[in-house]
């Protein structure tokens, strides 16, 4: 195929024809594009309308949210006030119920206290309340201390020294351990110049010299983990361990069990018949009663008989009563002062003491 210059010129002219036509039309036509101020304002109005509407909508939503928050806050305050009122009412009901629950105990306490008379002295603290009574009887004088234990560490039993076999007076023990009340505890046996606790003895939950089965009318008496007085005869250590004893000592005989007088061994009815005595007992509400009687000697001519003590304990309304070591051992210390009159003329050194702390 032969392409000549003439052919090329024709092709180029045909290709450029449309463009040349447009240019000639623009050149000779009278088309005018009018961009007026009004057109500009319309554009500006259109541009401003969209954000203004958004802002107005946002403000409206914020106002609605604020109203909702205010209503929610008011509702919360109303609920909080209702809760506080309900809580106050429940506290009042609880206090009233607690007071009513204590009322029978208060009435019972008044009843048993009235049987002892008017307290001569009272020690009261967060740990205990101890009330001292002076009592007179036909053949002897006695001293009673009614004790309400309020804390686990309000009562304990201590040995007469740092080692087994040592002894000290009850007053010395009270001063050494800074106790409020003290009384002699279990019996003892002398040997090789030392004074040992009699039979089964427990201090701080530990057996001092091991367990010994009850024999010859001996009993064990002390406090358990619940601050309850426990006592009786035990043939095995398992029986005693089941009572969870914290401390305690041994002596003879048991005077009362569940308010019923127990049989007094024949030997203890006459040897001696009368003597200074020390007794520990409990009430239905777990208060304790310490009873110490005076006697001029241990010959049997002065002091109290065990049968008389049984009658006194029943009159005072106790549940269980245990005779502790008596005679020259009987010692009662209240608020740092010796209360009774020891038959030896002075306080006897002993291996065990019950102490009470305020």
- pLDDT tens column, 173-218: 999 999 999 999 999 999 999 999 999 999 999 999 999 999 999 9
The number of domains in the chain is 1
Q: Tell me whether residue 10 is in a domain.
A: no
Give a yes or no: residue 31 inside a domain: no
Beta strand spans in the chain (E)? 121-124, 128-136, 141-149, 155-159, 181-184, 188-191, 194-197, 202-203, 206-207, 219-224, 229-232, 245-251, 254-257, 260-261, 277-282, 288-293, 320-324, 332-334, 337-338, 352-356
**CA distance linking residue 331 with residue 341, whole number of Å:** 8
The CB density around residue 149, as the number of other CB atoms within 10 Å, is: 21
- Residue 205, in any domain of the structure: yes
Q: Does some domain include residue 48?
A: no
Rounded CA separation 345/358 (Å): 29
Cβ neighbours of residue 187 closer than 8 Å, sequence gap 6 or more: 197, 198, 199, 249, 250, 251, 252, 325
Residues 251-279 have a mean pLDDT of 96
Nearest residue to 340 (alpha-carbon basis) of 186, 143, 132: 143
Residue 239 confidence (pLDDT) above 90: yes
Residues 112, 114, 118, 122, Cα dihedral to 10° = 30
The answer to whether 292 touches 133, Cβ cutoff 8 Å, is: no
Residue 357, token pair as written in the block: 């702390």
Do strands 155-159 and 188-191 pair parallel, antiparallel, or not at all (unpaired)? Answer: unpaired
Mean pLDDT of the chain: 88
Encoding tokens for residue 307?
A: 């049968």
pTM, whole model, 2 decimals? Answer: 0.74
Residue 206 within a domain: yes
- Give the burial string for 257-292 (b: 16+ CB within 10 Å, else e): eeeebbebeeebeeebebbbbbbbbbbeeebbbbbb
Nearest by Cα to 177 from 353, 1, 340, 302: 353
d(CA 88, CA 91): 5
> Is residue 136 situated within a structural domain?
yes
- pLDDT > 90: percent of the chain: 68
pLDDT tens, 241-255?
A: 999 999 999 999 999
Report the residue count for the chain.
358
Does 91 map to a domain? Answer: no
Q: What is the pLDDT of residues 289-346, one digit of tens each?
A: 999 999 987 777 789 999 999 999 999 999 999 999 999 999 999 999 999 999 999 9
Taken in order 290, 185, 148, 229, the sign of the CA dihedral is: negative
With H, G, I as helix, E, B as strand and everything else as coil, classify residue 189.
strand
Q: Indicate whether 34 belongs to any domain.
A: no
Please report the pLDDT score of residue 81 as a whole number: 76
Q: Given strand 141-149, what is the order of strands in its sheet?
A: 121-124, 128-136, 141-149, 288-293, 277-282, 320-324, 254-257, 260-261
Q: Is the pLDDT of residue 9 over 80?
A: no
Torsion sign (Cα): 175, 340, 156, 99: negative
Residues spanned by the domain of 333: 113-356
CA proximity to 165, closest of 213, 208, 211: 208
Tokens of 189: 């046996």
């Amino acid at each position: 195929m032969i392409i000549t210059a003439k052919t090329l010129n024709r092709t180029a002219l045909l290709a450029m024809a449309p463009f040349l036509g447009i240019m000639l039309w623009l050149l000779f036509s009278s088309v005018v594009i009018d961009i007026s101020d009004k057109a500009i304002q319309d554009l500006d109005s259109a541009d401003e309308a969209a954000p203004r509407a958004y802002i107005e909508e946002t403000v409206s939503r914020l106002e609605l949210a604020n109203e909702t928050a205010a209503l929610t806050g008011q509702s919360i305050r109303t609920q909080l006030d209702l809760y506080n009122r309900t809580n106050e009412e429940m506290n009042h009901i609880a206090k009233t119920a607690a007071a009513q629950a204590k009322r029978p105990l208060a009435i019972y306490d008044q009843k048993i206290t009235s049987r002892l008379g008017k307290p001569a002295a009272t020690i009261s603290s967060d740990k205990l309340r101890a009330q001292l009574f002076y009592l007179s009887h036909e053949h002897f004088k006695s001293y009673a201390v009614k004790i309400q234990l309020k804390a686990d560490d309000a009562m304990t039993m201590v040995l007469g020294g740092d080692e087994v076999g040592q002894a000290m007076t009850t007053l010395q023990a009270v001063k050494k351990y800074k106790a409020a009340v003290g009384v002699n505890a279990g019996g003892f046996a002398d040997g090789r110049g030392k004074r040992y606790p009699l039979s089964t003895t427990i201090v701080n939950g530990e057996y001092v010299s091991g367990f010994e089965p009850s024999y010859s009318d001996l009993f064990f008496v002390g406090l358990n983990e619940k601050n309850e007085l426990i006592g009786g005869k035990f043939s095995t250590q398992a029986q005693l361990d089941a009572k969870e004893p914290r401390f305690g000592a041994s002596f003879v005989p048991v005077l009362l069990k569940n308010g019923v007088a127990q049989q007094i061994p024949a030997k203890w009815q006459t040897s001696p018949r009368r003597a200074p005595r020390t007794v520990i007992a409990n009430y239905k509400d777990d208060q304790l009663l310490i009873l110490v009687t005076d006697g001029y000697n241990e010959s049997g001519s002065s002091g109290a008989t065990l049968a008389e003590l049984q009658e006194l304990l029943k009159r005072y309304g106790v549940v269980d009563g245990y005779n502790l070591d008596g005679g020259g051992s009987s010692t009662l210390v209240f608020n740092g002062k010796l209360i009774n009159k020891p038959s030896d003329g002075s306080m006897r050194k002993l291996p065990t003491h019950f102490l009470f702390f305020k």
